[in-house]
A = this chain, B = another copy of it.
Amino acid sequence: MGYTVIFQPSGRRGKVEEGTTLLDAARGLGVDIESLCGAARVCGKCKVRIEEGYFQKFGIESRANNLSSVLKEEKEKLEEYELYNHYRLACCAAVRGDVLVFVPAESRTGGQVILETGRKRDISIDPVVKNYYIEMPSAAMDDQRDDFERIRSALVQRYGLQRPIYLDYPVAKTLSETIRRAGWKVTVSVWDEKEIIKVSPGLVENLWGVAVDIGSTTVAAYLCNLRTGETVAKKSIMNPQIVYGEDILSRITYSLTNKNGLEKMSKAIVGGINSLLDALVEEARLTNEDIIDMVLVGNTVMHHIMLSIDPAYVGRVPFTPAFKCGIDIKARDLGLKMNKSSYVHWLPLEAGFVGADNIAVLIAEEPYRQEEATLIVDIGTNGEIVFGNRERLFSTSCATGPALEGAHIKYGMRAAFGAIEGVMIDPQTKVPRVKIIGEEGWFKAGDKPLARGICGSGIIDVCAEMFKTGIIDGTGRFNRQISGPRVRRGADGKMEYVLCFAGETAIGRDITVTQGDIRAIQLAKSALYCGAEYLMQKFGVEKPDRIVFAGAFGSFINKESAMVIGMVPDCDLEKVCAVGNAAGDGAKLALLSAKKRQEAEEIAKKVTFIETAAEPDFQIRFAEALSFPHKRHNFSSIHHLIEDGRFQHLNGDDRNRRAKFDR
């Protein structure tokens, strides 16, 4: 009645018939062993080690007798020392007695994705495009099958693919020539177990895909090995559409008001992605034709414009996208420089202002698998927030405007070289220390750090610090009782705070924070706060268990400062984290796993979009949330910061004054 086979490290065991190969035994027991060539004894990937173990009769000699003898192919594929150490190819070694087999890590399928935060995640690598190595009998007068039928039969018989299997037209053109030149041994790349999108000569081990995150400002692309999950190259560029408008609304306007405006912007982004593809394949020493899959994410307007779909109705009540479901489009229909027969996959959209990038964040962070109610905040030009847990999820978008990214701030700038990204203000002297992108450490007054302006995280920091040190009060107004060289009236007669004097800058002018800047930040943070508050209310809680900042920008925010100004609801600071470009991570995961794409589709339907601006008490709540940190709510998580001696102004009169914020 057969023999016992045990596989380590999984410990799976079972009885198999005499003569069963270890590979078939492993498959029967659900043990994954890599075999690129489908047991054709060509790839050498299914190496296993025959272990000594607890089988009583095992000794070197008896073990040898429990497997068929070593084949020629094994001697070719295995190193001398491997043979000596009892390695075998699982596709060659057939069972003749009880055996204990160790499957080394490199022979196991599945892999590890390194996320943008540096975190690693073990996932089951299951790309939508897979390679199948096949060997066919050559054509003969007594075998009237055509070339495609030969391939199809091999895929069905050898790999158990189900018919129908289609042949994409461009592949058909060169099929006969390719398989004959390859001596009837080819690797077939199959999309979704349905369609042949490439036929390559011989055994091809690796296959490659690209994940693209199209931001309004930045486009990032990741070249991944779809077999191992490894990210082998990463490139980013400014979104070339930026010449047509800085944000999504100005791009919608451009397409509405310019003939061929949509077409120009679409061509610009397709051209941009093509330049990224060129750069990626150059770095990885591949060709464009090697890129066999692509996943795209981006907000709804980027999605529509990239696809040449008029975004007019996305920008107008009731903000209806042409379609929200994920879509597969032939690369050739979009003019992308990759394997012609490949599909590119856009992840689904959630709503008019919550796009595929947000879905990507969700499948990367998986709040829908967690008990904790998580608030996910993705700040771009728009703020997109999601709140919920495994029970249910709500999302909204907040019209934060671009202030949080440093735009519409007097000395605001992008997070680039020379931008002030961090600020600390001495509570007594009101003299700041600043941190500058591209420079190490903190600079104090009098240093020559050559600052050029203030970026988003800097402006949040400086607001929080000005509030903590009493330069501004809870309503955001400058404290008239403080004056001095740094807190002064500007040329326009309005109050301002000098962060760097002209001599300390690279621009030869004082870098100041104005009353207008403070107001812009208040409007932005209030929009975000209100959005979160509505979602929590729909969900039925008052506080989030966790807060996650997604997006490159979120990584640089000082979470204490964000809390001090009341940009997000009160939450244990230890439960607040930034996850970097989670949209890029989600795109990568969708590239490596068909299940993740399925998950994206389900989540997009599951998330309930709330149009918060349509809520009847929105104006009142918005006004209340303008205060630092909030007019009504008690931010217990920052009380320890308040009590550290720099927050005297929060006592007595100051507290009252916060309540008098004038709309």
Q: Considering the chains assembled together, what is the distance between the CA atoms of A609 and B142 in angstroms?
A: 11
User: From A320, which residue of chain B is reached at the shortest CB distance?
Assistant: B139
- Across-interface contacts of A145 in B (CB, < 8 A): 320
Interface residues of A in 162-210 (CB under 8 A from B): 167, 169-170, 172-177, 180
**A325 part of interface (Cβ distance < 8 Å):** yes
In the complex, the answer to whether B146 meets A318 with C-beta atoms within 8 Å is no
- Given A141-B614, A180-B313, check contact A167 B327 (CB 8 Å): yes
Return chain B residues, CB-CB under 8 Å to A324: 146, 148-149
A349 to B144, CA, bound (A): 12
Pairwise interchain contact A611-B308, C-beta atoms closer than 8 A: no
A174 contact set on B, CB distance < 8 A = 310
A140, A323, A611 pick with most chain B CB within 10 angstroms: A323
Cβ-defined contact, A322 with B148, below 8 A: yes
Which B-chain residue is minimally distant from A316 (CB atoms)? B139
A contact face: mostly helix, strand, loop, or mixed = mixed
**Min C-beta distance of A663 to chain B, whole Å:** 26
Copies per complex of this chain: 2
CA distance A172 to B320 in the complex (A): 13
Q: How far is the CA of A146 from the CA of B318 in the complex (A)?
A: 10
Q: Which residue of B lies closest to A317 (CB)?
A: B141
Which residues in B have their C-beta under 8 angstroms from that of A144? Answer: 318, 320, 351, 609
**Do the beta carbons of A322 and B176 come within 8 Å of each other?**
yes
Chain B residues positioned under 8 Å from A148 (CB to CB): 322-325
Q: Determine whether the beta carbon of A176 is less than 8 Å from that of B327.
A: no
A172 to B303 alpha-carbon distance, docked (Å): 12
Query: Are the CB atoms of B351 and A320 closer together than 8 Å?
Result: no
A311-369 contacts to B, CB under 8 A, are 312-313, 317-318, 320-325, 327, 329-330, 332-334, 349, 351
Tell me whether B140 and A307 are in contact (CB under 8 A).
Answer: no
Instruction: Check A173–B318 contact: CB distance below 8 A.
Output: no
Interface-central residue, A172, A175, A312, A332, by most chain B CB under 10 Å: A172
Contact A318 B140 (CB under 8 A): yes
Q: Is A139 touching B318 in the complex (CB atoms < 8 A)? A: yes
Q: Are A173 and B309 in contact (CB under 8 A)?
A: yes
The answer on a CB contact under 8 Å between A146 and B322 is yes
A545 on interface, CB distance cutoff 8 Å: no
Residues of B within 8 A of A599 (CB): none
Q: Is A147 among interface residues, defined by CB-CB distance under 8 A? A: yes
| Given known A146-B321, A318-B141, A323-B167, contact A310–B172 (CB-CB < 8 A) | no
Bound Cα distance A320, B308 (Å): 42
CB-contacts of A120-154 with B (<8 A): 139-141, 143-149
A327-B325 Cα distance, complex, nearest whole Å: 27
Residues of B within 8 A of A320 (CB): 139, 144-147, 176
Query: What B residues does A169 contact at CB under 8 A?
Result: 307, 327, 329-330, 333-334
**Chain B hits for A143, CB < 8 A:** 318
Name which residue of chain B comes closest to A313, CB basis.
Answer: B176
Docked pose: A82 CA to B329 CA in angstroms: 50
- Taking a contact as CB atoms under 8 Å apart, the answer to whether B318 and A147 are in contact is no
Q: Is B141 a contact partner of A322 (Cβ separation < 8 A)?
A: no
The 25 sampled A-B contact pairs (Cβ below 8 Å) are A139-B313, A139-B320, A141-B317, A141-B318, A141-B611, A145-B320, A146-B321, A147-B323, A148-B322, A148-B324, A149-B323, A149-B324, A149-B325, A169-B329, A169-B330, A172-B327, A173-B307, A173-B309, A173-B310, A175-B309, A175-B322, A175-B323, A176-B309, A176-B313, A332-B333
Q: A141-B318, A167-B327 are in contact. List 19 more A-B contacts (CB 8 A).
A: A141-B614, A146-B320, A146-B325, A149-B324, A167-B323, A169-B307, A169-B327, A169-B329, A169-B334, A172-B309, A172-B323, A173-B309, A174-B310, A175-B322, A176-B313, A176-B322, A177-B310, A180-B313, A332-B333
